[in-house]
């Protein structure tokens, strides 16, 4: 992998990740951009103890542009985009409309491929491996920022999820706090360790799931399963078998196998409802990594107790119908799942991509 860092016309960082070591990236951003202006701030909810990002400047962000005006496609002739070069393998750049900025964190965009019509599932194993390298590199770099406590790599896919740009891409959020979902995991981890005389909750959950009926895919180094208490109609958790706290901890064997397992999983997601490529399954793919520094303030646990994993889920509950977060979910954070996890796992085993 070759990494080339440059700057866009407004001063934002852009990084090319290339498969070939001899690739030259010297294209200049020719757009007449003004400086980035953000109003992002983080406010703490005194009752719930969580944090909310207030970012009114995002109201003006690019919204469903036509394909020939996509800002994530390579620049071509007089059509200038966020990527100055005429081609790329993987690109990461600072978001012009970030939810978090300055002391409130940082937001980046990850372009998986220059092919506007593709999706992550269409990538070759080599391309998917390069995306993994980019996620890992950005996790390492962002962890050094003094305000950052947690790095979150994720992909929103599909208009139903709220995606405003159709080009295959994901995002990276560098939070200046430990997110509420991770804080809950850390609390459960600490309670389990104390209650069991030192056992690791992630290890116990993984062992129980591997012995049960909800495993969807299993390789030598990774296992994917529908969790016992899945919140979403179709939800799969992907774990490396050797527990590591973050993407940096993956060894070469796990990195090599990841594209095979993950691409197969994404292709199966697109077959759940028996629909054509014109109606792909909307999903969110979310990497969960340990916070940097103390593990959420819980005594008796450290970063190495946390288990890196990816959670993949769709908001579609059946063909043509979405799972809405209504009163119970939005008002009380109590999910009601219409699809039994065992049935979801069986369906995902049935729809092998090959």
Candidates 57, 9, 7; CA nearest to 33 is 9
Is 219 within 8 Å of 261 (Cβ atoms)? yes
Q: Which two tokens stand for residue 287?
A: 């990497």
* Catalytic, out of 57, 144, 169, 192: 169
**C-alpha span between 301 and 199 (Å, rounded):** 11
**169 assigned to active site:** yes
The set of long-range contacts for 86-90, using a CB threshold of 8 Å and a minimum separation of 24, is 86/27, 87/114, 88/16, 88/18, 88/114, 89/16, 89/17, 89/18, 89/19, 89/23, 89/113, 89/114, 89/127, 89/130, 90/16, 90/17, 90/18, 90/127, 90/130, 90/131, 90/134
Candidates 8, 68, 14; CA nearest to 36 is 8
Please state, in angstroms and as integers, the Cα–Cα distance from residue 215 to each residue in 163, 226, 269, 346, following that order: 29, 6, 15, 9
Is 284 within 8 Å of 269 (Cβ atoms)? no
Give exposure, 43-69, as e/b (b: 16+ Cβ within 10 Å). eeeeeeeebebebebbeeeeeeeeeee
**C-alpha span between 296 and 30 (Å, rounded):** 44
Cross-strand pairs, 144: none
Instruction: List, by residue number, the catalytic residues.
Output: 169
């Amino acid at each position: 992998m070759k990494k080339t860092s440059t700057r866009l016309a407004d001063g934002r960082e852009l990084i090319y990740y290339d498969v070939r070591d001899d690739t030259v990236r010297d294209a200049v951003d020719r757009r007449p951009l003004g400086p980035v202006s953000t109003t992002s701030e983080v406010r703490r909810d005194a009752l719930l103890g969580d944090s909310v990002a207030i970012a009114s400047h995002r109201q003006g962000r690019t919204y469903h542009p036509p394909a020939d005006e996509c800002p994530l496609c390579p620049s071509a002739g007089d059509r200038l985009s966020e990527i100055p070069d005429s081609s790329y393998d993987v690109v990461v750049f600072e978001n012009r409309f970030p939810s978090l900025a300055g002391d409130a964190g940082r937001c980046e965009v990850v372009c998986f491929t220059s092919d506007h019509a593709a999706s992550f599932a269409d990538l070759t194993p080599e391309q998917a491996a390069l995306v993994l390298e980019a996620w890992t590199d950005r996790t390492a770099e962002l962890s050094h920022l003094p305000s950052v406590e947690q790095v979150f790599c994720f992909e929103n896919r599909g208009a139903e999820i709220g995606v405003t740009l159709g080009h295959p891409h994901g995002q990276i959020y560098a939070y200046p706090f430990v997110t509420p979902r991770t804080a809950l995991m850390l609390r459960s981890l600490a309670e389990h360790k104390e209650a069991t005389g030192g056992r690791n909750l992630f290890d116990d959950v993984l062992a129980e799931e591997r012995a049960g009926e909800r495993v969807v895919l299993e390789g030598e180094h990774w296992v994917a399963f529908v969790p016992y208490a899945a919140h979403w109609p179709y939800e799969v958790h992907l774990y490396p078998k050797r527990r590591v706290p973050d993407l940096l901890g993956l060894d070469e064997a796990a990195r090599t196998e990841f594209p095979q397992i993950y691409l197969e999983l994404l292709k199966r997601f697109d077959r759940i409802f028996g629909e054509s490529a014109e109606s792909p399954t909307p999903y969110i793919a979310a990497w969960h990594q340990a916070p940097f520094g103390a593990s959420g303030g819980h005594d008796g646990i450290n970063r190495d107790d946390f288990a890196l994993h990816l959670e993949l889920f769709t908001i579609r509950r059946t063909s043509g119908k979405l799972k809405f977060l209504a009163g119970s979910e939005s008002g009380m954070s109590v999910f009601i799942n219409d699809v039994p996890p065992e049935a979801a796992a069986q369906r995902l085993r049935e729809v092998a991509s090959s």
